[in-house]
């Protein structure tokens, strides 16, 4: 494959954009090489600046559940744009979008649109702090909730003490209010809750971890957190930015039968345009300005184009629930095929999957925690990534991302992906 035009563009980009990209994971730092510059996409396929075609397993990190340039979504955006792109005043479509979500997701009485998943999670913890009058939050190692200061915190030296900034620019003052627990380890949460009794506003987590590869919640983990929050008066925030409308129309809450106090969304609800949202019980959401005292705002929140795209996608998903069964089947064939190829070559592997979220770990299982995920063979991942790329399959460029399938993938695409995977593994093990 020739990547020359991408290389030239990356050289130019690196002079005027930090790292040459507008989001770090795109820079291929985990896999090496030059990021591929995309010119267009349709359905399950991407084309790059050198005319190379790829089967897409990034799907814009989740939003493209029905594939790229879905005709009804494109038409909705085109038609809406003719009436201007933003008003800074309320519109009918924002009401219809909020009614669609609150009418479909149990536990969400009210919802506020913002412009990214980060804004959604930042706002959710601010509301939880305002509602409870408490300061600390518990998050989980290996979970990612966007780049809000309160989330860029790694576990502190003492397991039960304050966190430490994981990025310059995040202050100790912020870090002291974030505590890190172990994903799938309820006792680690209980210990933190006991050690900080009366000062924890919220527990926030990915109900299915998707930012340390795909790691499902163990049996009883989510229910245990729900009970702990009920017992201690802690707000349970489920970050469904990735899982919302992906693993089920009603998200992970439906699959695991757990209802959060606040749910955050992003990605799919914007169908590729900048949208995030947070919603929950009326008694909590009425704390949000202008009804309540917790301030949160945004010039472009509920933007007409983003609402048109997101509403069109969500409505299609609501009216076509068979999409989730189709995605489940495709993801199952893909995951089983990958596992079989790796096992046939005696390569240690663990395949985690929930619906169309697929996590491939190049290590023995089980992979249930952040520490487990870190056992994956990162070097092998990088080699496989490039072996697949040159065979026309674009995987997410990080060992700690899940594969994002779109329903535009055909069984032939899945079969071609597995053929490329087998050729890649044969080449690497020759």
Beta bridge partners of 48: 38
Say whether residue 141 binds ligand KE4 (CB under 6 A): no
CA–CA gap between residue 424 and residue 402 (Å, rounded): 19
Distance of CA 121 to the CA centre of its chain: 12
Which of these is catalytic: 136, 267, 372, 413?
A: 267
Q: Which two tokens stand for residue 106?
A: 């149990």
What is the Rg, in whole angstroms, of the alpha carbon atoms belonging to the chain? 21
Q: Does the annotation count 239 as an active-site position?
A: yes
CA–CA gap between residue 43 and residue 335 (Å, rounded): 21
Residues contacting residue 411 through CB under 8 Å, at least 6 positions apart:
330, 333
Minimum gap (Å) between residue 61 Cβ and ligand KE4 = 4
Minimum gap (Å) between residue 278 Cβ and ligand KE4 = 11
Interacting positions 369-408 with ligand KE4 (CB under 6 A): 401
Say if strands 45-48 and 53-56 run parallel, antiparallel, or are unpaired.
antiparallel
Distance of CA 4 to the CA centre of its chain: 31
Say whether residue 206 binds ligand KE4 (CB under 6 A): yes
Nearest residue to 408 (alpha-carbon basis) of 52, 40, 46, 78: 46
Q: Which is nearer to ligand KE4, 35 or 117 (by Cβ)?
A: 117
CA–CA gap between residue 95 and residue 72 (Å, rounded): 20
Q: Does the annotation count 324 as an active-site position?
A: no
Interacting positions 336-355 with ligand KE4 (CB under 6 A): none
Q: Which is nearer to ligand KE4, 43 or 117 (by Cβ)?
A: 117
Among 116, 123, 178, 312, binds ligand KE4 (CB under 6 A): 116
Minimum gap (Å) between residue 242 Cβ and ligand KE4 = 4
Q: Does the annotation count 315 as an active-site position?
A: no
Among 117, 130, 163, 279, binds ligand KE4 (CB under 6 A): 117
Minimum gap (Å) between residue 240 Cβ and ligand KE4 = 8
**Residue ranges with strand state E in 195-342:** 200-205, 235-239, 262-265, 276-280
Nearest residue to 45 (alpha-carbon basis) of 61, 28, 59: 59
Minimum gap (Å) between residue 169 Cβ and ligand KE4 = 17
CA–CA gap between residue 400 and residue 292 (Å, rounded): 38
Task: Spell out, one character per residue from 58 to 77, where the chain touches ligand KE4: x when CB under 6 A holds, - when not.
Answer: ---x----------------
Interacting positions 270-309 with ligand KE4 (CB under 6 A): 276
Instruction: Let me know: does 136 contact 200? Beta carbons within 8 Å.
Output: yes
Nearest residue to 112 (alpha-carbon basis) of 238, 282, 319: 282
Q: Which is nearer to ligand KE4, 120 or 418 (by Cβ)?
A: 120
Which of these is catalytic: 56, 177, 239, 261?
A: 239
Among 144, 221, 278, 362, binds ligand KE4 (CB under 6 A): 144
CA–CA gap between residue 173 and residue 374 (Å, rounded): 29
Minimum gap (Å) between residue 58 Cβ and ligand KE4 = 9
Which of these is catalytic: 144, 256, 265, 311?
A: 144
Say whether residue 197 binds ligand KE4 (CB under 6 A): no
Say whether residue 239 binds ligand KE4 (CB under 6 A): yes
Active-site positions read: 144, 239, 267
Give the residues lining the site for ligand KE4 (CB under 6 A). 23, 25, 61, 116-118, 121, 144-146, 206, 210-211, 239, 241-242, 266, 276, 401
């Amino acid at each position: 494959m020739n990547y020359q035009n991408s290389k030239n563009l990356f050289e130019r980009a690196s002079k005027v954009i930090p790292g040459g990209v507008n989001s770090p994971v795109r820079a291929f730092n985990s896999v090496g090489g030059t990021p591929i510059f995309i010119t267009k996409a349709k359905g399950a396929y991407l084309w790059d600046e050198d005319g190379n075609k790829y089967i897409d397993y990034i799907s814009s990190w989740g939003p493209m559940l029905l594939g790229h340039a879905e005709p009804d979504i494109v038409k909705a955006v085109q038609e809406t744009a003719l009436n201007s792109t933003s008003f800074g005043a309320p519109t009918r479509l924002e009401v219809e979008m909020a009614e669609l979500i609150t009418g479909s997701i149990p536990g969400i009485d009210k919802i506020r649109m913002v412009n990214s998943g980060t804004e959604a999670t930042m706002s959710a913890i601010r509301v939880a702090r305002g509602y409870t009058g408490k300061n600390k939050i518990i998050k989980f190692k290996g979970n990612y909730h966007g780049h809000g200061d309160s989330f860029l915190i790694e576990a502190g030296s003492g397991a039960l003490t304050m966190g430490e900034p994981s990025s310059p620019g995040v202050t100790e003052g912020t870090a002291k209010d974030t505590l890190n627990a172990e994903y799938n380890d309820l006792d680690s949460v209980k210990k933190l809750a006991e050690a900080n009794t009366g000062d924890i506003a919220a527990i926030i987590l990915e109900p299915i971890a998707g930012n340390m590869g795909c790691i499902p919640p163990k049996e009883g983990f989510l229910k245990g957190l729900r009970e702990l929050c009920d017992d201690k008066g802690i707000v349970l925030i489920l970050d469904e930015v990735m899982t919302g409308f992906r693993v089920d129309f009603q998200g992970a809450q439906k699959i695991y039968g757990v209802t959060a106090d606040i749910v955050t969304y992003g990605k799919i609800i914007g169908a590729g345009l900048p949208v995030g949202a947070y919603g929950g019980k009326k008694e909590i959401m009425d704390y949000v300005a202008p009804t309540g005292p917790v301030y949160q705002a945004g010039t472009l929140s509920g933007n007409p184009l983003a609402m048109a795209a997101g509403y069109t996608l969500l409505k299609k998903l609501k009216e076509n629930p068979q999409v989730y069964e189709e995605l489940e089947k495709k993801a199952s064939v893909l995951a089983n095929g990958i596992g079989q190829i790796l096992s046939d070559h005696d390569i240690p592997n663990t395949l985690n999957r929930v619906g169309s979220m697929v996590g491939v770990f190049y290590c023995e299982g089980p992979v249930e925690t952040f520490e487990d995920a870190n056992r994956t063979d990162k070097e092998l991942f990088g080699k496989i990534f490039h072996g697949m790329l040159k065979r026309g399959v674009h995987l997410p460029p990080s060992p700690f991302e899940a594969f994002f399938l779109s329903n535009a993938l055909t069984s032939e695409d899945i079969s071609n992906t597995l053929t490329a995977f087998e050729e890649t593994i044969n080449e690497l093990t020759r």
